[in-house]
Chains A and B, each alone.
Chain A
Amino acid sequence: MFDLAFAIVQVFYIITAARLYSSARTMSHTPLDPADLDLLWPLAWMTSFSADVSTAILANAYVVVGFLSIFLWRFLWMRILVMVVLLQHTAWPNSFGAIHHGNHEWFWLSVCFLFLPTGVKEAVRENRRERTRFLYAFSIAPALILFFYSLSGLYKVYYATLQFAKGQYGGFMPDAMAQTLARRALETGSEPMWADVIINYPLLGWPMYLGLYFVELFAIVILFRPALHRIWGFILIAFHFGTLTFMDIVFGQHVLINGLLFVMSPFAPRVFNLREALVAIPLFGPLFVDRIKGMGRQAYPAE
């Protein structure tokens, strides 16, 4: 469990380095005048320098911090530096008048990892208290990501319920997904791969949309139900494949994050047990309890 959690954090910092590496090149090739931009507060310092100097500072910070983080992330000061640089990295593409949210989660993961204990891997592994502390701190990362999904679900369900109570058209309507897809496609003139299917046959989208509300709203509950970590990971990845195919919205990093934290969850049972998973489903789990009674429970193999 510890080794997998440790490996996931290591992979996070390697991917962070790769992302900063790619961005450094773009930054150094496109010096924009900060005075022309709508700089977010983390980049306010850029106005004190010329375009060339400020973008060069950022590009160099990406290169140096990104590279060093691969080896030194076990030290708190390094993780703080990565967090600061990722804050700049997230702020930069959002300083052109509008805020996009493709990079936010990655930044927040770097904040979560500040809670990790400092120390050499072997020393942490050998010390039960430190090992537990590492896993506990690590669990803040999946908790935060699931919390984000729950927030998203909460707002969707809140507005849909409010509209329903007022007798207005809203998110619970059978063609709600079709309306959402049509609006999105009309906004940017995009042609999502599969949007036509739902727009032309709106009822097909109803179960998917209601399912999405459920999956998002109860996401945070899944943190405490390891039997569902992998399944929820797959579902959330499927959801992001859906945003691409139905809406032409790319959330590549979210696919990666769900893969790392949930599909590869160190807390998930090694062997998938369908009965355990069914019983663990929020709200509907109790429906399966009687059905599986007497069928016996397969114990997980000892680690």
Chain B
Amino acid sequence: MTQLRTAALYFFCAYFCIQLAGKLYAPKGEYFPVFSWSLFSIVRDDVYDVLVEVERVGDTVYSPPQNYYELGEVFSAAQRRDSGVLKAARLLTDSRHLPEQFAEREQEFIASFFQVEESIDFRIVLIRFDPLERWHTGQVTEWRVVSTHSTMDPSQ
């Protein structure tokens, strides 16, 4: 029983250390599968975030560009409100000053969330806002395009 207790203690201590290291140093915030369970830990009234806006799908041009999540009829991830799209877009934006990593993440992003039979133009927009104010009025305090992307037509 003592051995079991010792093993369990080591297990918990190891988990604690690895989750902390992952939160501090891992590119995706965790050394999979050791997660910190830090979810919605920081509450702010002044938030920076990204939007994925689609400008064109095949021959359909969206003017103004449409939020990815509004195109549920085109993208399955949008239909199921998959927050992974935003998580991946944030990672992509974070790597925009590292060309190699950016290209790699862009390819993964497109492969994961833009798998349709037509070419697509989309952009990633950085916004700053107070969530409650944006909810009630739609106002953001800052808005700028950080990157634009195009996918290849799979039929070509």
Contacts and interface: CB of A to CB of B under 8 A. Distances in A.
A169 B81 contact: no
B139 to A, nearest CB: 12
Nearest to B49: A187
Given A97-B88, A188-B81, 14 more contacts: A38-B108, A96-B108, A97-B112, A98-B28, A101-B35, A101-B37, A115-B7, A152-B41, A155-B41, A169-B46, A186-B131, A186-B135, A188-B69, A189-B70
Contacts of A221: none
Contacts, number: 154
B145 interface: no
Task: Place the interface of chain B in its size category.
Answer: 35 or more
Interface of B: 1, 4-5, 7-8, 11-12, 15-16, 19, 28-30, 32-33, 35-47, 49, 67, 69-70, 81-88, 91, 105, 107-109, 111-113, 129-132, 134-135
Given A169-B46, A187-B49, A99 B87 contact: yes
B36 A188 contact: no
A36 interface: yes
Interface of A: 36-38, 40-42, 87, 90-91, 94, 96-101, 104, 107-108, 115, 132-133, 136-137, 140, 143-144, 147-149, 151-152, 155-156, 158-160, 163, 169-171, 173, 175-176, 178-180, 182-190, 199, 202, 248-249
Nearest to A158: B41
From A98, A137, A163, name the one whose CB has the most chain B CB atoms within 10 angstroms.
A98
A242 to B, nearest CB: 12
Nearest to A96: B112
A176 B43 contact: yes
A202 B45 CA distance: 13
A190 B16 CA distance: 33
A41 B32 contact: yes
B96 to A, nearest CB: 15
Contacts of A144: 12, 15
B155 to A, nearest CB: 17
B41 A107 contact: no
Contact of A152 (B33, B39, B84): B39
Contacts of A94: 32
A143 B8 contact: yes
17 contacts: A36-B111, A38-B105, A38-B108, A90-B33, A97-B88, A97-B105, A98-B83, A98-B86, A99-B32, A100-B84, A136-B1, A140-B8, A155-B37, A171-B41, A183-B131, A184-B40, A199-B135
A171 B42 CA distance: 7
A98 B88 CA distance: 5
A97 B91 contact: yes
Contacts of A99: 28-30, 32, 35, 87
A97 B87 contact: yes
B37 A148 contact: yes
A147 B111 contact: no
